[in-house]
Amino acid sequence: MPAPRETILAALHAQLSALPATALRGEVLPERVPANGLLILHDGEPGEPEVTLSPLVYHYQHRAEIEAVVQGADRDATFDTLCASISTTLAADRTLGGLCDWVEAEAPRPVDLPVEGAASLKAAVITVVLHYTTADPLG
């Protein structure tokens, strides 16, 4: 049985996979960016948990990262649409089907990246904070 952390990250990836952009998990930036954009979910850092005793539980604010990348002549509008679709998806189910206490994204800091011989990329890392509780930090 997968750990709660893995179950939560898999559910977040499933939500992102429902978007028009291509959603990957733990991958590196491929040579080509799809027309609708690319999302790469990285597991991120669970951080130090708050601990409650009796019963022993660990409360995490896990910081996963979504790498959002678009390319093309209309990359500003495409990037804005992609960020809005992530926001709408997360707002529709803030608990990932009851797996989390709360899910929220932080504002992206987009950058334009030149590509030799091709249209520039617009990219940002969007941090998604996953609030959840588990009885075992490894399980």
Domain that holds residue 25: 4-134
The Cα–Cα gap between 62 and 59 comes to 9
- CATH of residue 73's domain is 3.30.70.1700
**139 inside domain:** no
Q: Which residue has the tokens 């960016």?
A: 33
63-91 per-position pLDDT tens digit: 999 999 999 889 999 999 999 999 999 99
- Total number of domains constituting the chain: 1
* Angstrom distances, CA of residue 104 to CA of 120, 123, 129: 29, 19, 5
Check whether 139 has a pLDDT greater than 70: no
**86 inside domain:** yes
Average pLDDT of the chain to the nearest whole number: 94
Of all residues in the chain, the percent with pLDDT exceeding 70 is 99
Q: What's the length of the chain? A: 139
19-54 per-position pLDDT tens digit: 999 999 999 998 889 999 999 999 999 999 999 998
The Cα–Cα gap between 69 and 14 comes to 18
Amino acid letter for position 62 = H
